[in-house]
Structure 1
């Protein structure tokens, strides 16, 4: 089932509206995507380019002879991946305003998967507000720590 969702970069300069199928997201584990985002994997939603409207055109990095990546040159947010030739584009799930509806339905480039990072539910966790140094910095800025 498709949904119209919005997203953009951290600073707000780049914004988009996209018609996506949130239950068909995926994790890419390839080395190029890891390097492009700094993550151990990247969550993407694949959609037809015709179902994406950029409200401000992103900057594009030619990451290889066959692909390029949209990003914001002001804040550095990686926004996706697209083959130079092709009708589809991948948007980073984390760049959507509300990524909660997305559900991964497959892994891609599993030959590069960092298996130690595939299931971290057993690790202890804490909230941002439980970190005294970070909480104090937010309070000094006149704000509450993110929830």
Structure 2
């Protein structure tokens, strides 16, 4: 479903918290029109939009089958990064001293000691990730390298959005792009759901949904794993 039409802000970042970002979403009437369309098409969608991408570049760059993003207007996206000299114990979920992410222009002024790293995956295209924990963060197109008329955009990897926001239904992808390039079984699974797939509450494949898993939780906890049950049945 489309994002709510009111103003809201959401945050996210990498696993180790060295890289954090904040997105300010303006009210519907102030959002820019979705550029993913034919010039003559009369489409009312506006950014941000939650999508699944089937292209090979995204699959190879992220290691994900069916990479999920939130596509944003770059000026609504602010990102901050800790330095490699910072004490890891001081890393929090705060997003301080943040700047907009604008492809090569941003990379040119990025502090070399920052954990945030850019990789030119193809001409005019960059992938951003945390070089401390390896989390892929975003995809950008350099200024002037996108199709004519496109404003600066950022595709943020959906899995990096903080869990509290992902619980909202409007973060669920409602457009699947580049399906003509996709892996056939991935496309079919996304269209039809995981029909016939065995579902297990945790790691043990002998446990089914509804089984008593208290012993498995205890075992995982003894190894230091964080087990927070969000779907009890």
TM-score bin, normalised by smaller chain: 0.7 to 0.9
Gaps of 5+ in 1: none
In the alignment, which residue of structure 2 is the partner of 1:145? 227
Say what the alpha-carbon RMSD is for the aligned residues: 2.6
Aligned equivalent of 2:167: 100
Matched, 1:112 2:112: no
Task: Give, in angstroms, the shift of residue 19 of structure 1.
Answer: 2.5
Which of the pair has more CA radius of gyration?
2
Contact 2:47 2:73 in 1 (8 A): no
User: How many aligned positions are there?
Assistant: 146
Asked if the contact 1:8–1:14 (Cα under 8 Å) also holds between the matched residues in 2, the reply is yes
Contact 1:3 1:22 in 2 (8 A): no
Question: How many angstroms apart in 2 are the aligned matches of 1:115 and 1:23?
Answer: 27
Q: Which has the higher contact order (CA 8 A, sep 6+)?
A: 1
Match of 2:194 in 1: 121
Distance verdict in 2 for CA 1:78–1:130, change over 3 Å: same
* CA–CA separation in structure 2 for the residues paired with 1:145 and 1:11: 18
Aligned partner of 1:16 in structure 2 is: 21
Q: Pick from 54, 65, 78: which aligns with 1:53?
A: 78
Contact 1:128 1:145 in 2 (8 A): no
Q: How does 1:23-34 map to 2 (within 5 A)?
A: 24-34=49-59
Work out whether residues 139 and 145 of structure 1, in 8 Å CA contact, stay in contact via their aligned partners in 2: no
Asked if 1:71 corresponds to 2:154, the answer is no
> What is the CA distance between 1:121 and its match in structure 2?
2.6
Q: Give TM-score scaled by structure 1 length.
A: 0.85
Of Structure 1 and Structure 2, the greater strand share is in 1
TM-score normalised by length of structure 2: 0.56
* Structure 2 stretches lacking a partner, 5+ long: 26-45, 82-113, 144-150, 206-212
Cα separation, 1, equivalents of 2:8 and 2:194: 29
